[in-house]
Amino acid sequence: MSSPVRHHGHSEAVVTSGRGTVDITATVANVVASSEIEHGLCTVFVHHTSASLIVCENADPTVRSDLERFFARLVPDGEALFAHTAEGPDDMPAHVRSVLTQTSLSIPVREGRLALGTWQGIFLWEHRHRGHRRRLSVDVVGR
């Protein structure tokens, strides 16, 4: 007879210093470890529309700075196309960046640990110029 499926949930605040990435891999890994779930799925969700989550190269930070430059070209601040400018020239581009990336990630849990690849890390990507306090939900489901 198999053991029942269990759930472990945790909320976390991440303070950003402005546009760029924050490595949250250790934070998420600690939630998985405290869940005592050996095999399952970890879901990470950011509760905002101007920040996102990415799984990205964690060894060379130039990968993330290259992504930032790419998105600056793809969705420039102050673009005349945008009518939504109430919070400044970086507001609507931040929403577009968030929609083009992800606000939720699913990572397998194997042997009580995140089953990430060798060079993979989990990052919160702040899309606004000003720093913010971003709320994350981390949920682990499994056995």
**3 pLDDT band (50/70/90 cuts)?**
confident
Four-residue CA torsion sign, 80, 86, 89, 91: negative
Tell me the pTM: 0.96
pLDDT tens track for 23-64? 999 999 999 999 999 999 999 999 999 999 999 999 999 999
Record the tokens describing residue 113, joined without a space.
């640990």
**127 pLDDT band (50/70/90 cuts)?**
very high
The predicted model gives 108-137 an average pLDDT of: 98
Assess whether pLDDT exceeds 80 at residue 1.
Answer: no
pLDDT tens track for 58-76? 999 999 999 999 999 999 9
Beta strand ranges found along 1-143 (DSSP E)? 6-15, 20-23, 40-46, 51-57, 104-110, 113-114, 120-126, 133-142
